[in-house]
């Protein structure tokens, strides 16, 4: 499917055509800049002694505003010459003073300036103060208040036979300013009259005129050149008036041409409209025109995507996996320009954006008057279709209007965003832009080959289909997949493209009719695009983007987007836009005489007697200005020459502070320049001197403050012995011959006391604190002329910070053991070992010193409860119970042995023989033989609750005492007995004032009170005696074993 090439675009909104005058009329007349020199005129001079120059009291420069010139004032500009620049010698200065009558000249107006001596001043009303920097305003005028205030001082100076400056009562700079203003007013009134006449003439012709001033032509003049400059201004005005006449003649010719062009245009438009109406009637007859069709001539197209772009480039960016960019060309013979492929995996449907093409390098594409900088095309929502093409994807090239070709896909959505040259996105206004979708081929409803284009609307982009007259493509309102208008042909328009290549003409005529077939046969030709309208659709678009979905169930299509609105295919040419009536734009140049700016010269006398002695190149700020000696020339204009006689300072006790060649020549004569010129004569007092030797001291102190971090005092300040430094100097006493004052100055050139030292001071030690400075100093102190008078004291702060600490704790273990023994020291019962008592105390450890302060509360008092001594048959304990013990640990007894160890001694009860049976039945006396033995007591098995204890250090506080086994052991008589278990210790508290808790171990003693005879059960004293002897032997053996086990445990 070949696509049409854009041949021309609809014109955008008409723009006004304006007649622009030629170079001569654009700026009527060339600017004339004339400069003129002043003629020096000698002033008549009188007088004998001191010459004073008359000055204008006040220069009103505010009246020169219409001169468009700046009257700059340069304040206090010092101009001095070097030896080479100055040709003024002291000898010449003295000669000038002596010959004042003959040599004093002042260049001014054509009227002479009178020079008078002080003897000619007869009243203070004739005397005006000198113009000084203090009473001179920046525009050159004089502050009259300052003048009034200083008049009294000036009068006083005059009475002392000192020079003053009189006002020039004959002529002033302001007089020339007024004269120039009057000339300018007259010339510009003449020019305005010519402008008014030209405007009226254009209006009478029915035209329009826009006349405005151009660049002003300033003609500079001096006071003496005003008359010559006036003639030049007159010439300038006359030249512009001649230009006005020529412009009027040219404009008349333009109007005549416009009338002829308008007549011809109307004739051509009438012919075009006639042919157009005839063709529209044909379209109606053919069914290709209805009431919804728009008149294509009425469409306003502000969006231009030019097909003539030659330098655009495209960059591709894939947005999802499965899309690959590679160079490839589809259909080399037909679409070689689509030479890049965005390949998509076969049969892969994609939802959302998957490819972005960015076109740049536009030179001929616009929206309105905005040149397009770049266009982004984003592809989304790919619907795959299996076809015979090699690849699935989108072919594209560097040129936007070449469109794209998609293969193996039923449809794809294209979103276009347009940006200006500054990268700002362009928003398309309603009714200002159209997108033409061309070559929408179709084989009719029911066929897979129907090329469609749907406009998709969103919150920031809108569009609608527009019915084109003469097109087979219809607008199907809201029938798109996304609810937008969709463009396609319901009928087979493709058939008209193949009638010459075996196509069925009869079928085509049945579909369209003979006239339509003949009119639009081969409408999609690649060589002749005159009939392309038959396959075109049109979208009116607006908003931030343009979104169109292209679809074709055949699985491939070439899609293009153009901004060329198609034309009706009848033979007729629209004459274009109606000729616009020309308007006239005229620019003129007002003329203006500009009087050279007022200038002034001021000769200052500066008393530099107080300046530093090493200064030789003085500046105005180095001394005191003698304002009542100021000489000022302020009434002359730029270019005027002047002469001045310097003040005789030697008569008043001054001497020149510099060499004569340092006085600038401008102080005595020169030419007035723009602004102010200030020249300075530096004077000093003539003095006499005497000297004497003097001395001075500098005391230096040292103090050290010892403080905590919160600023409070940690220790008394340390105050060192002060250091005293001494220096001698030479005092010079001067007598000022100008003022009579005595001036004293001292040169301190003696040696200072040598360097002294504040020795090292060790910071005091404060328990629990450390300092950031363990010592301060030493400080070497040296006093010099440079630091004399400065504060050289040494003041230091030593800050004490609390040492960092951590909370630690310690334990104290207290044990209790009770030994049960017979009188002979052998063990009578297993030791009773109570549960150890553990006491804990917290403390604060200093992490700097490592010392610990044990200030925490100890565990409260705990108790070893009462332990009842076990009962042993035949024996009596000397202590029936042990305890209770209340144990309290304090810092004072922490290191002491607080363990409780008690010994209970068992003594044998006395044996009392029993009462014999009155009728005893004697048993045979047992006879012990050497072979008779008594089985020893079995070894005690270590109990899992109370295992044998390893040998231990009784001083080790961390060792735990394990309770002994509860297994019964035989007593001395071989009777089983129960061991005393562990006793639960408790803390004495308010809830239990006695400090004794329930004893967890109950002492039960199982024993047989007496031995029972094997058969009769009766007591037998003799046999008991024998058994006692045996039991005694066995008891000793058992005790021996017990001691052995105890020793092992200890």
Indicate if the pLDDT at residue 572 is higher than 80.
no
Rounded-to-integer distance, Cα 70 and Cα 592, Å: 14
Confidence band of 331 (pLDDT split at 50, 70, 90): low
Confidence band of 1044 (pLDDT split at 50, 70, 90): very low
Indicate if the pLDDT at residue 888 is higher than 90.
yes
Mean pLDDT of the chain, nearest integer: 75
Rounded-to-integer distance, Cα 476 and Cα 492, Å: 16
Pick one of 2.40.10.350, 2.60.40.4300, 2.160.20.60, 3.40.50.2000 as the CATH number of 808-1049. Answer: 2.60.40.4300
Most confident of 141-155, 276-290, 626-640: 626-640
> How much of the chain, in percent, has pLDDT values that exceed 70?
70
pLDDT tens digits along 680-690? 999 988 877 88
What's the average model confidence in pLDDT over 139-154? 36
Confidence band of 548 (pLDDT split at 50, 70, 90): very high
Residue 347's SS3 state is: coil
Assess whether the region 695-732+743-801 and the region 808-1049 belong to the same CATH fold. yes
pLDDT tens digits along 217-244? 999 888 878 888 999 999 999 998 999 8
Confidence band of 84 (pLDDT split at 50, 70, 90): very low
pLDDT at 168: 38
Range 46-74 burial, b when 16+ CB lie within 10 A, else e? ebeebbbbbbbbbbbbeebeebebebebe
Confidence band of 501 (pLDDT split at 50, 70, 90): low
pLDDT at 739: 84
pLDDT at 616: 83
pLDDT at 834: 92
Indicate if the pLDDT at residue 29 is higher than 90.
no
Q: Where are the beta strands (DSSP E) in 292-451?
A: 303-304, 313-318, 323-327, 340-344, 350-360, 366-367, 370-384, 392-396, 404-407, 409-420, 428-437
pLDDT tens digits along 803-839? 899 999 999 999 999 999 999 999 999 999 999 999 9
pLDDT at 332: 53
Most confident of 60-74, 164-178, 676-690: 676-690
pLDDT at 475: 92
User: Which pair of tokens denotes residue 621?
Assistant: 């700020």
pLDDT at 923: 54
Contacts (Cβ under 8 Å, ≥6 apart) of 531: 519, 520, 521, 522, 523, 525, 569
Mapped to the 3 state alphabet, what secondary structure does 740-800 carry? CCEEEEEECCCCCCCCEEECCEECCCCCCEEECCCEECCEEECCCCCCCCCCCCEEEEEEE
Which of 439, 479, 457, 467 shows the shortest CA–CA distance to 538?
467
Confidence band of 467 (pLDDT split at 50, 70, 90): confident
pLDDT at 934: 44
Q: Where are the beta strands (DSSP E) in 69-216?
A: 209-213
Helix (H) or strand (E) holding 283: helix 226-286
pLDDT at 793: 94
What's the average model confidence in pLDDT over 8-15? 35
Is 53:165 a contact under the CB 8 Å cutoff? yes
What's the average model confidence in pLDDT over 852-857? 91
Indicate if the pLDDT at residue 279 is higher than 50.
yes
pLDDT at 66: 38
pLDDT at 595: 87
pLDDT at 560: 85
Q: Which residue has the higher pLDDT, 783 or 150?
A: 783
What does the radius of gyration of the chain's CA atoms come to, in whole angstroms? Answer: 64
Most confident of 13-27, 728-742, 1028-1042: 728-742
Architecture of the domain spanning 695-732+743-801: Sandwich (2.60)
Confidence band of 797 (pLDDT split at 50, 70, 90): very high
Indicate if the pLDDT at residue 517 is higher than 70.
yes
pLDDT at 52: 34
Which of 577, 592, 672 shows the shortest CA–CA distance to 632?
672
pLDDT at 917: 54
Most confident of 24-28, 124-128, 138-142, 1019-1023: 1019-1023
Confidence band of 875 (pLDDT split at 50, 70, 90): very high
Confidence band of 330 (pLDDT split at 50, 70, 90): low
Q: Which residue has the higher pLDDT, 114 or 357?
A: 357
pLDDT at 351: 95
Q: Which residue has the higher pLDDT, 193 or 84?
A: 193
Indicate if the pLDDT at residue 153 is higher than 80.
no
pLDDT at 916: 57
Q: Which residue has the higher pLDDT, 94 or 378?
A: 378
pLDDT at 561: 81
Which of 926, 918, 899 shows the shortest CA–CA distance to 818?
899
Indicate if the pLDDT at residue 109 is higher than 80.
no
Rounded-to-integer distance, Cα 98 and Cα 51, Å: 11
What's the average model confidence in pLDDT over 324-336? 74
pLDDT at 74: 36
What's the average model confidence in pLDDT over 864-879? 94
Most confident of 40-49, 429-438, 946-955, 1038-1047: 429-438
Residue matched to tokens 């334990």 = 811
Give φ, ψ of 254 to 5 degrees: -65, -40
Confidence band of 918 (pLDDT split at 50, 70, 90): low
Confidence band of 134 (pLDDT split at 50, 70, 90): very low
Indicate if the pLDDT at residue 82 is higher than 90.
no
**CB-based burial label for 115 (10 Å; 0-12, 13-18, 19+):** buried
Question: Could you write out the DSSP letters of every residue in 374-407?
Answer: EEEEEEEEEEE---S-S-EEEEE-S-GGG-EEEE
Domain ranges in the chain? 61-170+597-687, 306-422+549-560, 428-543, 695-732+743-801, 808-1049
Is 968:979 a contact under the CB 8 Å cutoff? yes
392-396 and 370-384 strand pairing: unpaired
What's the average model confidence in pLDDT over 306-333? 86
Is 489:475 a contact under the CB 8 Å cutoff? no
Which of 618, 697, 701 shows the shortest CA–CA distance to 659?
618
Is 216:28 a contact under the CB 8 Å cutoff? no
């Amino acid at each position: 499917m070949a696509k049409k090439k854009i041949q021309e675009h609809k014109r955008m909104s008409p723009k006004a055509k304006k007649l622009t005058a030629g170079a001569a009329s654009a700026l009527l007349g060339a600017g004339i800049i004339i400069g003129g020199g002043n003629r020096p005129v000698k002033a008549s001079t009188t007088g004998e002694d001191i010459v004073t120059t008359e000055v204008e009291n006040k220069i009103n420069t505010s009246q020169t505003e219409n001169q468009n010139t700046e009257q700059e004032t340069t304040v206090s500009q010092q101009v001095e010459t070097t030896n080479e620049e100055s040709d003024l010698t002291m000898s010449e200065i003295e000669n000038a003073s002596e010959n004042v009558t003959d040599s004093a000249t002042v260049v001014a107006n054509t009227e002479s300036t009178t020079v008078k001596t002080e003897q000619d001043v007869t009243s203070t009303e004739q005397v005006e103060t000198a113009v000084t920097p203090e009473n001179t305003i920046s525009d050159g005028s004089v502050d009259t208040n300052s003048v009034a205030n200083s008049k009294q001082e000036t009068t006083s100076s005059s009475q002392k036979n000192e020079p003053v400056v009189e006002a020039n009562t004959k002529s002033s700079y302001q007089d020339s300013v007024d004269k120039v203003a009057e000339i300018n007013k007259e010339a510009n009134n003449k020019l305005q009259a010519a402008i008014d006449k030209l405007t009226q003439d254009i209006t009478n012709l029915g035209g329009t005129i826009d006349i405005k001033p151009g660049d002003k032509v300033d003609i500079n003049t001096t006071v003496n050149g005003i008359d010559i400059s006036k003639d030049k201004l007159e010439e300038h005005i006359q030249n512009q008036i001649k230009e006005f006449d020529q412009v009027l003649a040219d404009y008349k010719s333009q109007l005549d041409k416009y009338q002829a062009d308008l007549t011809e245009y109307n004739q051509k438009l009438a012919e075009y409209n006639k042919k157009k109406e005839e063709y529209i009637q044909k379209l109606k007859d053919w069914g290709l025109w209805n009431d919804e069709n728009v008149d294509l001539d009425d469409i306003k197209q502000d969006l231009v995507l030019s097909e003539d772009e030659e330098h655009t480039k495209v960059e591709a960016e894939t947005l999802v996996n499965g899309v690959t960019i590679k160079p490839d060309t589809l259909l080399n013979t037909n679409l070689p320009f689509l030479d890049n492929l965005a390949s998509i995996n076969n049969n892969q449907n994609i939802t959302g954006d998957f490819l972005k093409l960015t076109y740049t390098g536009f030179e001929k594409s616009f929206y309105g008057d905005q040149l397009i900088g770049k266009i982004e095309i984003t592809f989304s929502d790919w619907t795959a279709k299996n076809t015979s093409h090699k690849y699935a994807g989108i072919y594209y090239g560097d040129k936007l209007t070449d469109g794209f070709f998609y293969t193996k896909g039923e449809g794809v959505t294209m979103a276009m965003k347009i940006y200006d040259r500054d990268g700002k996105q362009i928003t398309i206004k309603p009714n200002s832009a159209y997108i033409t979708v061309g070559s929408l081929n179709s084989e009719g409803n029911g066929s897979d080959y129907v090329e469609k284009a749907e406009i998709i609307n969103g919150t920031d982009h809108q569009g609608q289909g527009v019915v084109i007259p003469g097109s087979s493509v219809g607008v199907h309102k809201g029938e798109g997949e996304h609810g937008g208008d969709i463009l396609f042909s319901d009928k087979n328009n493709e058939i008209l493209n193949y009638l010459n290549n075996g196509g069925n003409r009869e079928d085509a005529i049945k579909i369209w009719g003979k006239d339509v077939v003949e009119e639009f046969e081969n409408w999609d030709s690649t060589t002749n695009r005159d009939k392309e309208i038959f396959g075109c659709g049109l979208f009116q678009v607006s908003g931030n983007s343009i979104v169109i979905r292209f679809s074709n169930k055949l699985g491939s299509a070439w899609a293009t987007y153009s901004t060329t609105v198609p034309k009706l295919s009848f033979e007729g040419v629209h004459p274009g836009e109606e000729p616009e009536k020309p308007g006239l734009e005229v620019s003129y140049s007002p003329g203006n005489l500009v009087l050279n700016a007022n200038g002034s010269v001021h000769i200052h006398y500066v008393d530099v007697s107080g300046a530093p002695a090493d200064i030789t190149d003085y500046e105005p700020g180095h001394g005191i200005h003698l304002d009542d000696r100021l000489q000022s020339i302020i009434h002359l204009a730029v270019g005027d020459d002047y002469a001045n006689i310097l003040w005789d300072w030697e008569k008043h006790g001054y001497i020149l502070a510099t060499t004569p060649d340092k006085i600038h020549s401008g102080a005595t004569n020169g030419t007035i320049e723009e602004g102010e010129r200030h020249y300075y004569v530096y004077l000093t007092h003539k003095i006499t001197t005497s000297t004497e030797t003097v001395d001075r001291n500098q005391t230096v102190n040292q103090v050290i403050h010892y403080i905590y971090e919160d600023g409070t005092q940690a220790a008394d300040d340390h105050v060192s012995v002060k250091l005293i430094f001494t220096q001698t100097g030479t005092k010079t006493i001067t007598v000022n011959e100008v003022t009579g004052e005595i001036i004293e100055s001292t040169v301190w050139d003696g040696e200072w006391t040598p360097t002294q030292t504040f020795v090292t001071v060790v910071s005091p030690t404060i328990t629990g604190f450390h300092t950031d400075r363990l010592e301060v100093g030493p400080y070497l102190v040296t006093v010099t002329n440079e630091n004399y008078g400065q504060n050289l004291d040494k003041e230091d702060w030593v800050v004490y910070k609390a040492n960092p600490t951590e909370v630690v704790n310690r334990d104290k273990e207290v044990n209790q053991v009770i030994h049960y023994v017979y009188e002979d020291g052998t063990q009578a019962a297993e030791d009773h070992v109570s549960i150890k008592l553990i006491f804990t105390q917290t403390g604060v450890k200093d992490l700097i010193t490592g010392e610990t302060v044990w200030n925490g509360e100890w565990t409260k008092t705990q108790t070893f409860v009462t332990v009842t001594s076990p009962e042993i048959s035949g024996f009596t304990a000397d202590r029936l119970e042990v305890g209770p013990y209340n144990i309290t640990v304090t810092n004072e007894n922490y290191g002491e042995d607080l363990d409780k160890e008690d010994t209970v001694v068992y003594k044998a009860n006395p044996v009392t023989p029993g009462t014999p049976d009155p009728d005893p039945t004697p048993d045979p006396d047992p006879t012990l033989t050497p072979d008779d033995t008594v089985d020893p007591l079995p070894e005690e098995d270590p109990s899992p609750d109370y295992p044998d204890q390893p040998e231990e250090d009784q001083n080790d506080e961390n060792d735990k005492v394990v309770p002994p086994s509860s297994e019964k052991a035989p007593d001395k008589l071989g009777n089983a007995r129960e061991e005393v278990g562990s006793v639960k210790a408790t803390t004495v508290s308010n809830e239990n004032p006695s400090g004794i808790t329930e004893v967890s171990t109950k002492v039960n003693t199982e024993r047989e009170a007496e031995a029972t005879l094997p058969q009769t059960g009766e007591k037998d004293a003799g046999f008991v005696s024998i058994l006692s002897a045996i039991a005694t032997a066995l008891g000793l053996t058992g005790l021996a074993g017990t001691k052995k086990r105890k020793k092992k445990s200890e």
